[in-house]
Structure 1
Amino acid sequence: MAWIEKHGRSWRVRYRNSDGTTGSVPGTFTTEDEARTHAASLATPAPAPSVILTPRHLPPVQQSAPAFTSPAETVPTTPPPGSTRPTVAQWIEEWWDTIDIGDNTLAQYRSITKNHILPRWGTTPVTEVTSADVAKWTKQLRERYKPATVSGIRKLFSLIMADAADNGLRDSNPVRPRNRGRGRTEPRTERVWATEYEVNEIARRILTLAGPNQALLVITAAYTGMRWGELAGLRRERCRTGAPNPCIIIDPEVGALHEVNGELSYGQPKTASSARTVTLPPFLASLLAAELARTSTPPVFTTIRGKHLRRSGFQRRVWAPAVNGTTLPDGTVWKPIKPGLTFHGLRHSHKTWMIEDGIPGVAQARRLGHRLQDKIDDVYSHVAASVEQRLLAALEARWQRALRPAAEVSPE
């Protein structure tokens, strides 16, 4: 007899095998009614030889198991005829329950899996994924996608297959680094970053397009190194602008705004180290204090109508025309300021500025929410006050320096 159960945001159909183990119909259903209808149509699966796959007792694949394709996923998941070994699709379906990651990361993993991994490897038994086949697949991906995209796809598949090996489904991970071929001589793509002058010019344009609030968003991003989700989710009670130590507090539980499948929610920042206190240079504390006095919305940064910011809308309507150039309705032509610069590039810019100003690496990591290997917190605590003051003084000087020649460096 089959039954249904909630599985994340979806539903799945499960059944009891003759040997007492529990099996799942490959794939998931988007609604409870769809899952219930499918469960009602299933007969008790025919007995099959018991195959011990992992310590977690993955259900043995039945030769007569019904093939199923999720309405939202048009990729095959049925193993080859006569096979009793789990396919990549069947392992991934079980794998979702073994990982503990944030909603944004989970949504990204599911998208990569659906669009790239399952179409190629879904019906392949886990034991038959070879390094040679992975290399051929990677080469084909490189012909269609940018290096960063290919790297993300390959890293996720490597993680999936490494966990399969750890669970005894195969001897080793077939997605191994390659130390030969052109990959060794390909130049590394440099991250695009902006100078303080370019940041000011971008903010000036955004002031024209979207008002002072979103212009200040850009300034804050560049002079704090905060991530998009941390800024979009920043609430006024977490913004301390008064003396003697103005700062922004990124809460470990609700310190970031997440957008998953179009839905917004407050949640944990990217990593445990991301929950931190970010100190503010004097000019930025003053600007934020004035903005908080001018507005009354709980989020510090919002749309013109006071709603939560969405990354895609901000990118399309505000960021892209300001950075890459556009023609305004009145005929004014904006030339590009920094083609290829992303909003996340402001975080890289902040990192670059700290390097230029000679800030120690451990202080950089603390400010950006990174975790350094082989670094002891006590070492940093002894120099925190002096280093922090030097960092804030350098940022203040950079801001004041950028204000004076701003007209001279304008690309218009």
Structure 2
Amino acid sequence: MARRARDVYTEWRGGTCRVKWWSGDYHDDGRKRFESKGGFTDEDEAYDYGLDKMSEIRAGTNVPNRDGRTLMTDWLDDWLSAMDHAHLTEKGYRSKVEAHIRPYFKRTAVGDIDVIAYRAFRKHIYGKVGEGTAKNTMMVLGMVLDDAVPRLIKSSPVERKRKRGKYKKATRERKRDVLPQIVEQLARNAEIMFGYPGYVFVWTMATTGMRPAELYGLTREYSYPSWPASDLRLDPDEEERYEEDMERYGAGDGLMSAIRVERQVQHKDGKLQFFPPKYGSYRTLVVPPFLADMLVKVQEGHDSRWVFPAISGGCLGSVAFDTAYWRPIADGAPARKGPGVRRPRAEIPAVPTFKGKRMYLLRHAHKAWLDEDGHPRFAVESRMGHEVPGVEGTYSSVTVAMERAIMKTMQERWERLQELFEAHGSGAVSHSFPS
């Protein structure tokens, strides 16, 4: 005998019982839309299941059957189309979805991805790609599944707080102290690779902590000695800052030499374009006197809009910098000479500290230098383009005294390097100041 209550009833079909409940929706003709679940062998169990579903509907936590059966590939389409992130972030998320997540879950319904399916994918991806790629892929999958709640699944299967399985200690990239003489060797190698702009490029990264794409996209308008007078002033809401910059920075007496980080370059739709700096980290970076002199000299030596042009004269962002430039600079390369060689160059010696290492570690080295010199945490993090959370981030500011102290300690490192060369009889570096 079938059991019935308002909007819930059971019925036997063959040897199993099915329960039906009102979904809370209506058909176009006004009839109530019911959902069902079969396969029960106990009628009371089936009936209680229907009552539980009605309770979920009233509480707003129910996932309709038709939504729970949505294929993961369809949900990924919706999720990707709704993204609203910076260009590089979206590009990275889309890459992980298309390369790893979609192929694996292509024929799987979102509602079928439970904690076991999640763990299976985690084991699969860590066995297929490197740890960094696997970690980023799991992060993206976690966001995809979290955003499916409560529309497609009642709760996310993503495991975060409770860790199970074999313990694995987090690995950190091994770093070594980066002394000024190591930076100098990298700079000299870069000069062999792409001329004096290469030499200044390396020292600029080491003494400002700029990100590579910010350096690639640095134009004269935002570099000493032209900035801030040459600022494009693209934001009408920043008029007050523009005027303050004119009082604080520049090439005149009493002003501080500085670079303004307003943009970076990245590829989009096959074209190199300007984008805001990572995390919107717009910032002003004071530079020590030795670097200010280098910036003047390097811009006097070419007519490119880019402060650090590529060998071809274009933007460094348009070349495969990591492989074509940085690897020879850090790892060394044989000389290029003889008939038929288009661009002859001297042998490039390897720099052991950076052999096989990322150029980004120069940015890390700058942070270590600032910490060693005892600068305030807020001034350090602001210079690196990091946001300081909490009360410290709300109430602190970077003062003129803090900026002058940073200029002073960076200059002192350079001067100690010159003393080191002189003490060893090799003479001061020829690029100290413009002739």
The CA deviation at 1:226 is 0.8
Q: 1:192 to 1:112 in 2, by over 3 A?
A: farther
- 2:291 pairs with 1:277: no
Residue 44 of structure 1 is matched in structure 2 by none
RMSD, aligned CA = 2.9
Deviations 1:127-150 (A, max 9, x none): 111222222322232233322221
CA contact (8 A) 1:325 1:334 kept: yes
Matched AA of 2:365: S
- Aligned residue among 137, 150, 168 for 1:153: 137
The CA deviation at 1:207 is 0.5
Aligned positions of 1:48-197 closer than 5 A: 85-165=69-149, 167-177=150-160, 178-191=162-175, 194-197=178-181
Matched AA of 2:256: N
Matched AA of 2:274: Y
The CA deviation at 1:261 is 5.4
Residue 396 of structure 2 is matched in structure 1 by 380
The CA deviation at 1:288 is 0.5
Larger radius of gyration: 2
**Once structures 1 and 2 are overlaid, which stretch shifts more, 278-287 or 236-245?**
236-245
Matched AA of 1:112: K
Query: Matches of 2:82 and 2:132 in 1, distance apart?
Result: 26
Residue 239 of structure 2 is matched in structure 1 by none
CA contact (8 A) 1:192 1:345 kept: no
Q: Give the secondary structure class of the aligned counterpart of 2:285.
A: strand
Residue 303 of structure 2 is matched in structure 1 by 296
- Aligned residue among 323, 328, 336 for 1:329: 336
CA contact (8 A) 2:197 2:308 kept: yes
- Aligned residue among 274, 288, 296 for 1:266: 274
Query: Matches of 1:161 and 1:115 in 2, distance apart?
Result: 17
Query: Matches of 2:303 and 2:223 in 1, distance apart?
Result: 13
Q: Give the secondary structure class of the aligned counterpart of 1:181.
A: coil
Q: Give the secondary structure class of the aligned counterpart of 1:363.
A: helix
Q: 1:387 to 1:109 in 2, by over 3 A?
A: same
Structure 2 regions of 5+ residues with no counterpart?
1-26, 29-56, 226-250, 338-345, 427-435
Q: 1:126 to 1:292 in 2, by over 3 A?
A: same
Query: Matches of 1:226 and 1:129 in 2, distance apart?
Result: 42
The CA deviation at 1:212 is 0.8
Q: Give the secondary structure class of the aligned counterpart of 1:266.
A: strand
Query: Matches of 1:304 and 1:218 in 2, distance apart?
Result: 15
Q: 1:307 to 1:150 in 2, by over 3 A?
A: same
- 2:367 pairs with 1:367: no
CA contact (8 A) 1:362 1:375 kept: no
Q: Give the secondary structure class of the aligned counterpart of 1:164.
A: coil
- 2:223 pairs with 1:211: no
- 2:264 pairs with 1:256: yes
Query: Matches of 1:235 and 1:187 in 2, distance apart?
Result: 37
Q: Give the secondary structure class of the aligned counterpart of 2:277.
A: coil
**Once structures 1 and 2 are overlaid, which stretch shifts more, 280-289 or 293-302?**
293-302
The CA deviation at 1:336 is 4.1
CA contact (8 A) 1:193 1:341 kept: no
**Once structures 1 and 2 are overlaid, which stretch shifts more, 206-215 or 143-152?**
143-152
The CA deviation at 1:189 is 3.5
**Once structures 1 and 2 are overlaid, which stretch shifts more, 261-270 or 342-351?**
261-270
CA contact (8 A) 1:87 1:122 kept: yes
The CA deviation at 1:320 is 0.1
Query: Matches of 1:147 and 1:192 in 2, distance apart?
Result: 22
Q: Give the secondary structure class of the aligned counterpart of 2:273.
A: strand
- Aligned residue among 308, 314, 332 for 2:321: 314
**Once structures 1 and 2 are overlaid, which stretch shifts more, 210-219 or 329-338?**
329-338
Deviations 1:178-201 (A, max 9, x none): 523344434433456733221111
Q: Give the secondary structure class of the aligned counterpart of 1:334.
A: coil
Q: Give the secondary structure class of the aligned counterpart of 1:202.
A: helix
Structure 1 regions of 5+ residues with no counterpart?
1-17, 20-51, 62-82
Residue 76 of structure 1 is matched in structure 2 by none
Query: Matches of 1:115 and 1:404 in 2, distance apart?
Result: 53
Q: Give the secondary structure class of the aligned counterpart of 1:143.
A: helix
Q: 1:193 to 1:88 in 2, by over 3 A?
A: farther
CA contact (8 A) 1:199 1:222 kept: yes
Matched AA of 1:223: T
CA contact (8 A) 1:201 1:406 kept: no
CA contact (8 A) 2:217 2:274 kept: yes
**% identity of equivalent residues:** 27
Q: 1:147 to 1:342 in 2, by over 3 A?
A: same
Query: Matches of 1:335 and 1:250 in 2, distance apart?
Result: 31
Query: Matches of 2:355 and 2:95 in 1, distance apart?
Result: 28
Matched AA of 1:327: P
Query: Matches of 1:130 and 1:191 in 2, distance apart?
Result: 39
Query: Matches of 2:202 and 2:348 in 1, distance apart?
Result: 21
CA contact (8 A) 1:193 1:346 kept: no
Q: 1:196 to 1:311 in 2, by over 3 A?
A: farther
Matched AA of 1:176: E
- Aligned residue among 257, 263, 268 for 1:246: 257
The CA deviation at 1:332 is 4.2
Q: 1:257 to 1:386 in 2, by over 3 A?
A: same
Query: Matches of 1:172 and 1:195 in 2, distance apart?
Result: 51
